[in-house]
Amino acid sequence: MYLRSMKAPLMVFAAAAAGCGVLMFVNPNSPDSWLPRCPFNWLTGLDCPACGSTRMVHALLHGDVVAAWHFNAVMLVAGLPLMAWLWLRWFNASRKGEKQKPVPKSVGVTVLATGLVWMVVRNLVA
């Protein structure tokens, strides 16, 4: 019962670890990389708020924080900690067998506002 309640968060963790394992050996910066391009960028030529995140994670896994910052500063500073916090909330609730409490509405509004501002700023500066 205990492990059954934790199955979903552990599977997400395993998928993230597997993705990081791939990024240890596959360079998304390479022109012949088989990793897909951002669909939003492909269709519009603009960077979405998450554009550069794959390259950012690749840089982090190889110890290059400066390059990670260059690829997506907001995802590095706010996105990764937010995802870790959300996953930890989910994991802890599952571990305790409790229903997860809803994320405060203010968090969602802040994420949306930050994403929109970041998208506008990064496309105007570039």
6 pLDDT band (50/70/90 cuts)?
confident
pLDDT for the residue numbered 100: 87
126 pLDDT band (50/70/90 cuts)?
low
Tens of pLDDT along 109-124? Answer: 999 999 999 999 999 9
State the distance between the two ends of the chain, measured CA to CA, in whole angstroms.
51
- 32 pLDDT higher than 70: yes
pLDDT for the residue numbered 1: 53
- 2 pLDDT higher than 80: no
pTM: 0.88
Map out the domains of the chain as residue ranges: 2-125
Q: What is the mean pLDDT of residues 61-85?
A: 96
User: How many percent of the chain have pLDDT more than 90?
Assistant: 83
* Burial state string for 43-80 with b = 16 or more CB within 10 A and e = fewer than 16: eeeebbbbbbbbbbbbbbeeeeeeebbebbebbbeebb
CB 46 within 8 A of CB 119: yes
Q: Other C-beta atoms within 10 Å of 17: how many?
A: 9
